[in-house]
Chain A
Amino acid sequence: MLTGDATTDEVAEAGLRGLSQTLFRRTSIEPAAPLGVDLETDELAFFPFLYWPVTADQPLPSREAYGKLNRYLRSGGMILFDTRDADTARFGSGSPEGRKLQAIARSLDIPPLEPIPSDHVLTRTFYLLQDFPGRYASRDVWVEAAPVDAEQVEGMPFRNLNDGVTPVIIGGNDWARAWAVDTSGRRMFPVGRGMSGERQREIALRFGVNVIMHVLTGNYKSDQVHVPDLLDRLGQ
């Protein structure tokens, strides 16, 4: 999502380039190169996933753009909002980016949110994860809240949710900087210190992979729990 801020847009593109490279190397997803999207002019339906770095001074989308965004969210798209301020602010308060995000989100059809629960499908769409760091390692990452009636079923490790993918992920861990590579494939920004920093970058990439897998496969991994049962039932 183009913000109008040249540096931010460059970093976002580099971040998604890094994520695409990782997907290409490690999974069967072989994405095309990331594209910058101008909300006012471009059609959103083709994009399975939008990364939206929030800057303090970006303009609010127009009414038509909001209509487009809401349609996109309703029909199964996903936006990752990144306020990139997890080192200085808690989610939803304090920083100018946080206030901007609130302003942007006011007119969006965003369902009730909750911090990623430990049994969310995002924690296991490809890698098993419990932390979702980017360049920063805040635990404040929010997704659509589970429906109230999604009870934990006896004997099931996960709650049985519908195939609906969370339309938004909101956090401030500055994932793009952790993912970013330049055109020759070198890391552009340092993450943390030494080996633990590299580990954090690895987990950040794994988070990116999981997000893309979640967008494309929905609750596939939740259902895999039932597959052994189904196979057992076959032929009976």
Chain B
Amino acid sequence: MTGTLVLDPLIPLPLLAIVAALALAALILSVWRRLPGWWLRGLAGAVLLTALANPAIQQEDREPLSDIVMVVVDESASQRISDRADQNAAALDNVTAELARQPNTEMRVVTLADGEGDLGTTLMTAVSEALAEEPQARVAGIILISDGRLHDIERAPNLPAPMHLMMTGQPGDWDRRLIVSNAPAFAILGEEVNLTLRIEDQGDAPDAQSVLLSISIDGDAPLTVPVPIGEDIQLPVTLPHGGMNVLQFTIPDAEGELTNRNNAAVIQINGVRDRLRVLLVSGEPHPGERTWRNLLKSDPSVDLVHFTILRPPEKQDGVPVNELSLIAFPTRELFLEKIDDFDLIIFDRYRRRGILPSSYLENIRNYVENGGAVLISSGPEYGGAESIYRSPLGAILPGAPTARVFEEGFVPQITDVGQRHPVTEQLDLLSPNPEGDGPGWGRWFRLVDVLVPEAAMTVMAGLDDRPLLTLNRIGEGRVSLIASDHSWLWDRGYEGGGPQLELLRRLAHWMMKEPELEEEALWVEPTGQTMRIIRRTLDAETGTVTVTGPDGTETELTLEEVSPGRFETVWDAPEIGLYRLDDGEETAVIALGPSAPREFEQTIASAEALEPLISGTNGGVMPISAGEIDIRTVRPGRPAAGRGWIGITPREAYRTAEISITSLLPAWAYLLLASLLIVGAWLREGRR
């Protein structure tokens, strides 16, 4: 219950001011006229003015409200290292007990987990959100139980009461960590990428000059090198293969350091080829040549070098050279000097015409054995005497001509192996057949009969299941043979056409070892922490996949066949980190989440970031390791922290239940008073 004097004027304030001015003028006039009752007149005017201003007593009925103390407990990942979890609990118990002793004080506990994704510790967001739910006028204090390493200091709210930090961590904490500062997401195969590594000691670290760094690529056996501490190290890396390369850098756990979670960095670099260089050699102009050109030229990643034998050496027409638009075929340059620069050589209806000497063709064979690729797109000449098969190259080609060439219509079919092979897998879905079984594409009309060596695979078949498209691996290289030159009929839309571009594109990319077209492959498509594990194989079934998590736990997963040769399963990974997958034949490494979580960038507890904010509220930083604290009440604006204690400021908040306003004097009292004074003035002046 409180009482205050308030003015409750009977007339509007400006009017009251005018009346007061008139009264003052009358008073001045009476003084000037030297009227003896001037003071009585003045008093009467004052009484009347007071009556008009109507002073009143306002009485409030107040109900006191409790004070609220916020306790924000940081349970992010960095608070789980060392003994910090225990410290958290101890500090919370301490605060709970202390606040319980404070009268009329409530405690609100907010716990904070790791931020979504890699946001880190979003302490200030948590404080803001908690404050938004409570009336500001009742908040008497904010106590943070944290290591002080937050990542959203810029989101700090306006604080209505002292904020204190009860800081976890021990005075002698130290930590060693590995930083990779510039890791590209893509790198060109065969070119060096420079990674910058740094090994940093934080906190009260022992003196050490160097540490052993182990480098492991795709989960292979690590390579160990000593590296200095506290210096930027330039590490040149050349990616070993296309597709995703997972590089893992690890430094050993040091005795006494806080955590080993920041001792490793996983970097994923997608290896891409600079340009795929394709050499297309057309033995003669023919209708299919333009489809090859359209395919290879529409692919922006392909550099095409194309030669067509427009005129064989034995044909001459006596036309002077300056009227001809022919250039020499630079065979020596192409097939001896620069052959290794090509990723793929296509012989398109090529026949031996004495242009390429045997030694060059032998060199092409060596090129394949050393990792090159040769694709033969054959025509009827492949079955003839001038066949390129009857050359040193023949020994590696996946089809020996029987000299029979069929000129009959047939619908190309995908073989059983072809259904599983990435080159032809689900190709028939691109040309659905509206009238039932089989692919819906058009017929071809020529097939060169070939005998396929045992090691080769036939992925498409033609007339009477004779091989149409065969593939083989020779040494480190690849060869393939299309036993017909009629794929262009698909391009022309004959009988509805067919997926000719897609077939040739996949074939060419398979030959150039594009990782997504490997027959045996195990890979993971991550979405957040969910892994879609995919195994492609030519076998009819596949074993279980063992997933080894970042903490070493192994999980056996069974994959289900979703389409021929493709097995999948979906698995939710328990935490971010590096996972190894192994199904006995293929292995894969996948890093979920960031290579170095933000939580573990800075692990030594420090109030540095929070210091300005805390001192702005007169709060204090209390290391938990220094022992328990008391909580006292202090007046707002006074220092609220000292040795072994922190203060909260009771806000004395209340709720007003009722307000009553009573005039100070009743109206008749003013009337009486004014009348007496006026009459007194009249008497005094009238006596004269």
Q: Which residues of A contact B (CB under 8 A)?
A: 25-30, 43, 45-46, 48, 71, 75-77, 124-128, 163, 165, 206, 212-213, 216-221, 223-224, 227, 230-231, 233-235
Contact = CB atoms under 8 A, between A and B. Distances in A.
Interface residues on B, range: 35 or more
Interface string B295-309: 001000001111111
Interface of B: 277, 282-287, 289-290, 293-294, 297, 303-312, 315-317, 319, 322-327, 330, 333-334, 338, 340-342, 353, 489, 491-494, 497
Given A45-B492, A126-B324, A26 B308 contact: no
A125 B325 contact: yes
B371 to A, nearest CB: 16
Contacts of B303: 230, 233
A124 B324 CA distance: 8
A27 to B, nearest CB: 5
A102 B297 CA distance: 35
Given A124-B325, A235-B338, A26 B311 contact: yes
B290 A217 contact: yes
Given A25-B315, A163-B297, A235-B341, A76 B310 contact: no
Contacts of B307: 227
A219 to B, nearest CB: 8
A234 B338 contact: yes
Given A29-B285, A223-B306, A45 B323 contact: no
A9 to B, nearest CB: 24
Given A45-B493, A227-B305, A26 B325 contact: no
Contacts, number: 110
Contacts of B326: 126
Given A71-B493, A128-B325, A163 B284 contact: no
Given A45-B489, A165-B290, A221-B325, A28 B341 contact: no
Contacts of A30: 284
Contacts of B287: 48, 216
Contact of B492 (A25, A29, A75): A75
Contact of B491 (A26, A75, A124, A235): A75
A139 B65 CA distance: 103
A224 B306 CA distance: 8
B494 A43 contact: yes
A27 B297 contact: no
Contact of A213 (B285, B294, B340, B489): B285
Contacts of A223: 297, 304, 306
A215 B484 CA distance: 20
B338 A217 contact: no
A45 B317 CA distance: 32
A126 B341 CA distance: 29
Contacts of B304: 223
Contact of B293 (A128, A206, A213, A220): A220
Given A127-B323, A213-B310, A28 B283 contact: yes
Contacts of B340: 235
B333 to A, nearest CB: 6
Contacts of B324: 126-128
Contact of B341 (A124, A163, A234): A234
Given A124-B325, A163-B293, A231-B338, A28 B306 contact: no
A120 B490 CA distance: 28
B308 A126 contact: no
